[in-house]
Amino acid sequence: MEGEIKVRDAILHSVVNSGQKIILGTKKGLIMGGVVRAADLIDVQHLGSKMGTQTEVEVGINPGFRREINEIEKRLPSLEKELDMVDKALVLLEKKEELSSKREELKAKLIRTSFVLKAEKRKLDNRREEITYLINERQLERGCIKVRQTIHPGVKVIIGKAVRIFKDDLNFALLTYEEGEVSIQPYR
């Protein structure tokens, strides 16, 4: 989702993505289990649980960008394989001096396919480069995580490229990105 997500009580064992903020209300205000990502802010009462439930929260990068990059990374290898097969078939056809009309048709079709695949590859490469630039620029803006009560053990916090896994309870914290680390400041 691109907008802001507001939850009254809890997000339990879920995957939730926001292009802006995720704000949990003042009642329970709990994120426990699952993966919760927001581009700008996660504002919560409690993160994780006393039992050490694995909980991952991430800010600083629009989740849509990460998803799109993953899709591009999946598509590129198969695209390159297809392109390689088309190019090899064309090389074989180029070696023949005279081609039958069927082979001429096949050659023309392969040339068109090659153009289409190369255009798609160029488009994907450009989009990957654009997203990488946006992600790296986004690092400078830094998202933050506000914890109004407690972060419990088993919580993994990712801010931009920095990762911190909590082993002990921590109360009243503002988590931000600072010099490659997840920085902990008192909640204000």
Residues 104 and 161 placed together within one structural domain of the fold: no
pLDDT of 41 above 80? yes
Query: Are 133 and 148 members of one domain?
Result: no
Q: Which helix (H) or strand (E) holds 156?
A: strand 155-159
| 30-38/55-59 β-pairing | parallel
Residue 79 shares a structural domain with residue 126: yes
User: Can you give the residue range of the structural domain that contains 115?
Assistant: 67-139
CA distance 24 to 1: 16
Residue 56 sits in the same domain as residue 118:
no
Q: Based on the domain organization, do 77 and 131 belong to the same domain?
A: yes
pTM for the whole structure: 0.72
DSSP secondary structure letter of residue 114:
H
Q: Among 26-30, 49-53, 86-90, whose mean pLDDT is lowest?
A: 26-30
Residue-level pLDDT at 7: 92
Contact of 15 with 34, CB cutoff 8 Å: yes
Q: Phi/psi class of residue 135: alpha, beta or left (left: φ > 0; alpha: ψ in -120 to 50)? A: alpha
Phi/psi at 60 (5° precision): 105, -20
Helix axes 101-141, 63-95, angle to 10 degrees: 160
CATH code of the domain containing 31: 2.160.20.70
Same domain membership, residue 131 and residue 71: yes
How confident is the model over 155-168, as pLDDT tens digits? 999 988 789 999 99
Q: How far apart are CA 96 and CA 70, in angstroms?
A: 41
Specify whether 134 is located in the same domain as 74: yes
Domain count, the chain: 2
**Claim to verify: residue 84 and residue 130 sit in the same structural domain:** yes
**125 lies in the same domain as 77:** yes
Q: With 90 as the cut, is the pLDDT of residue 66 above it?
A: no
Token pair recorded at residue 34: 């699952």
- Residue 60: the pLDDT is 85
Residue 127 shares a structural domain with residue 157: no
pLDDT tens per residue across span 74-113: 999 999 999 999 999 999 888 887 878 888 899 999 999 9
Residue 141, pLDDT score: 55
One domain for residues 123 and 178:
no
Is the same domain home to 116 and 78? Answer: yes
